[in-house]
């Protein structure tokens, strides 16, 4: 029972001691460390090779003594033996420290934040939520946020998708975070100070991992509260503010060295060159929150709203909106979908999303599109706006029917209008959400190197060359996902650590310390990974609230009761067991091939 309440950090410390012991024993006698680590096969094989390496020089010495001569060939053989034994000696010692070599699970491989998915899912299956939460936050401190709005690329590659629906990885992440937070308190160990400009997901994550590495961090943001677009642009029905506040408080309270200062606008009341002089390193997490205009006739009419501005006004209660008629939303991204669902909650009788390409080309998350449809949002594809009509207030939008010139190129295909296929939609308001971009004028004013799209140019370590500036998130990638911004924040913290304190082979030795401890989950009763031939088992459905949508009521309500444990036990732990390969071949009972499966 005591092992079940052990923290992940303590478990990892114990695991490290065992591995160091195995390393020392293998340095004394190659193979001994593997035997102590219960890797009997490799240990015995190494001991047999030890005997061979000892017998070979004895045989050579006897031959030399009898023949009483040392030829060039003899010297060459001795040299080859020495080099081979040296490589073998180091390899076996390294293997003793690293332990069993496992494949990287597809879910973990495709996670931008490199979260240990299979182990935290298994911990949820065992009801060990505190350990699961701690394991997630080792790579992503915004765990509760990701448990709700992550696009879940891990689920797309889940081995279960070979024959049925994937494991509900995102929902299980949420379940893990809805219990007591892990106790984390980092100490200041280094005198260097770092400034982080931007308190969005990338900036907050970078600050957390810098504090974890022992640095003092000052966070600056133009908003009065930290959170960035998570706070001011993602509606409450997708991301409850209680969950966001829980993650932010966890980050800010993790170290006394983290300080947040709001109301600071870069280029106005805070100067970049002054930050470079005052701090040892600066991380720019500026985001890409400048709305992209349509540049068509009538865009300046009243009632034509920018999607990001509209969401910001609603989420911060800075403006009151109320609809009673038809609201047209232009765009196919997440901002467009969020705007449409928000308009419904503000009284609109009809909301239509117009997108100039097809459904398959929409950049919005498919799950969010499906949720919007269930709530009553309509979609019109291959429709491009030509102009807005009205005197002072927009009341009509003229559209043209579009078609793809080359379907094989997907979203890269050029578009052309269909002659004679134009129509007019009567509207009460129009929300334009055709994308965001970094503020190019600000970048040029700050003297930052940018590409043709206005994104900051950085090297592979997210550093701006020849300066102590680092940058990440949407300002570097363009508008992307929250989990990618989190990944950039963690990567930047690591790069700044090696920039501030260069160490010989520092990255190599840090890599040696990255291993997965044994959680003792291999014999969990009822788990799919304990069965030789796991059966088909349907995915547990999340609780939803589509019938009575409200702006402050969450739509996706997660897994209830112990259904999360039931769902987590569907995981195959395919990185450890070969049953995953059987699933790929479709050998299980009840298998239905993808082409025969109903949509």
DSSP conformation letters of 174-230: HHHHSSPPP---B------EEEEE--SHHHHHHHHHHHHTT-EEEEE-SSSSS-THH
pLDDT at 299: 94
DSSP code at position 349:
S
d(CA 468, CA 281): 5
pLDDT at 70: 60
pLDDT at 432: 96
pLDDT at 61: 73
Determine how β-strand 436-437 pairs with β-strand 463-464. unpaired
CATH no. for 193-288+439-500? 3.50.50.60
Cβ partners under 8 Å of residue 249, min gap 6: none
Backbone torsions φ then ψ of 62, nearest 5 degrees? -65, -40
CB contact at 8 A, 237 and 341: yes
pLDDT at 69: 61
pLDDT at 208: 97
pLDDT at 599: 39
d(CA 280, CA 495): 13
CATH no. for 106-175+530-596? 1.10.1060
What DSSP element (H or E) covers 353? Answer: strand 350-355
pLDDT at 27: 93
What DSSP element (H or E) covers 275? Answer: helix 272-278
- CATH superfamily of this structure's domain 291-436: FAD/NAD(P)-binding domain (3.50.50.60)
pLDDT at 502: 92
pLDDT at 169: 96
Spans of all domains in the chain: 2-98, 106-175+530-596, 193-288+439-500, 291-436
d(CA 373, CA 376): 5
pLDDT at 20: 92
Cβ partners under 8 Å of residue 429, min gap 6: 303, 304, 305, 323, 327, 328, 343, 394
pLDDT less than 70: residues of the chain:
1-5, 63-72, 409-410, 577-599
pLDDT at 415: 86
| Burial (Cβ within 10 Å: 0-12, 13-18, ≥19) of residue 327 | buried
pLDDT at 433: 95
pLDDT at 343: 96
The two domains 193-288+439-500 and 291-436 share their CATH topology (first three levels equal): yes
């Amino acid at each position: 029972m005591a092992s079940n309440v052990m923290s992940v950090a303590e478990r990892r410390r114990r695991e490290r001691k065992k591995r160091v012991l195995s390393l020392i024993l293998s340095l004394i006698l190659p193979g001994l460390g593997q035997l102590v680590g219960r890797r009997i096969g490799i240990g015995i094989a190494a001991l047999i090779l030890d005997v061979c390496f000892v017998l070979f020089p004895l045989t050579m010495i006897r031959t030399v003594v009898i023949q009483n001569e040392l030829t060039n060939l003899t010297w060459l053989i001795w040299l080859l033996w020495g080099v081979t034994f040296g490589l073998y000696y180091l390899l076996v010692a390294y293997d003793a420290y690293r332990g069993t070599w496992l494949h990287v699970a597809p879910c973990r491989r495709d996670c931008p934040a490199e979260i240990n998915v299979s182990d935290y899912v298994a911990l949820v299956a065992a009801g060990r939520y505190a350990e699961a939460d701690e394991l997630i936050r080792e790579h992503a401190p915004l765990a509760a946020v990701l448990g709700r709005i992550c696009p879940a690329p891990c689920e797309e590659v889940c081995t279960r998708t070979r024959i049925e629906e994937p494991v509900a990885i995102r929902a299980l992440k949420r379940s893990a975070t809805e219990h007591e937070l892990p106790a984390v308190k980092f100490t200041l160990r280094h005198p260097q100070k770092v400034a982080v400009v931007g308190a969005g997901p990338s900036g907050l994550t970078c600050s957390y991992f810098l504090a974890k590495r022992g640095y003092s961090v000052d966070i600056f943001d133009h908003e009065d509260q930290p959170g960035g677009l998570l706070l001011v642009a993602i509606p409450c029905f997708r991301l409850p503010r209680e969950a966001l506040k829980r993650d932010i408080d966890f980050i800010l309270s993790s170290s006394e060295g983290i300080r947040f200062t709001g109301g600071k606008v870069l280029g106005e009341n805070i100067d970049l060159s002054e930050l470079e002089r005052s701090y040892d390193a600066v991380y720019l997490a500026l985001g890409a929150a400048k709305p992209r205009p349509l540049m068509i006739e009538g865009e300046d009419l009243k009632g034509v709203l920018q999607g990001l501005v509209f969401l910001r006004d609603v989420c911060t209660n800075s403006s009151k909106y109320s609809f009673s008629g038809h609201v047209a939303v232009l765009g196919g991204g997440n901002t467009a979908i969020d705007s449409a669902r928000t308009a419904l909650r503000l009284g609109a009788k009809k909301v239509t999303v117009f997108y100039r390409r097809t459904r398959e080309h929409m950049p919005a998350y498919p799950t969010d599109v499906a949720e919007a449809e269930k709530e009553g949002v309509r979609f019109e594809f291959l429709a491009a706006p030509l102009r807005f009509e009205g005197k002072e207030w927009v009341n009509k939008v003229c559209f043209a029917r579009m078609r793809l010139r080359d379907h094989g190129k997907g979203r890269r295909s050029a578009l052309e209008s269909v002659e004679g296929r134009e129509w007019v939609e009567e509207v009460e308001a129009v929300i334009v959400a055709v994308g965001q971009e970094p503020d190019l004028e600000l970048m040029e004013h700050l003297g930052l190197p940018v590409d043709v799209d206005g994104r900051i140019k950085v090297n592979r370590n997210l550093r701006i060359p020849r300066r102590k500036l680092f940058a990440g998130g949407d300002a570097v990638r363009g508008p992307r996902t929250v989990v990618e911004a989190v990944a950039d924040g963690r990567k930047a913290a690591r790069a700044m650590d090696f920039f501030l304190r260069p160490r010989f082979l520092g990255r190599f030795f840090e890599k040696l310390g990255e291993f997965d401890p044994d959680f003792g989950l291999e014999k969990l009763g009822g788990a799919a990974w304990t069965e030789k031939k796991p059966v088909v088992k349907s995915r547990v459905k999340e609780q939803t609230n589509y019938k009575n949508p409200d702006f402050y009521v969450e739509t996706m309500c997660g897994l209830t009761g112990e259904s999360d444990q039931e769902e987590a036990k569907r995981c195959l732990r395919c990185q450890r067991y070969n049953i995953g390969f059987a699933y790929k071949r479709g050998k299980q009972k009840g298998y239905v091939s993808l082409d025969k499966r109903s949509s």
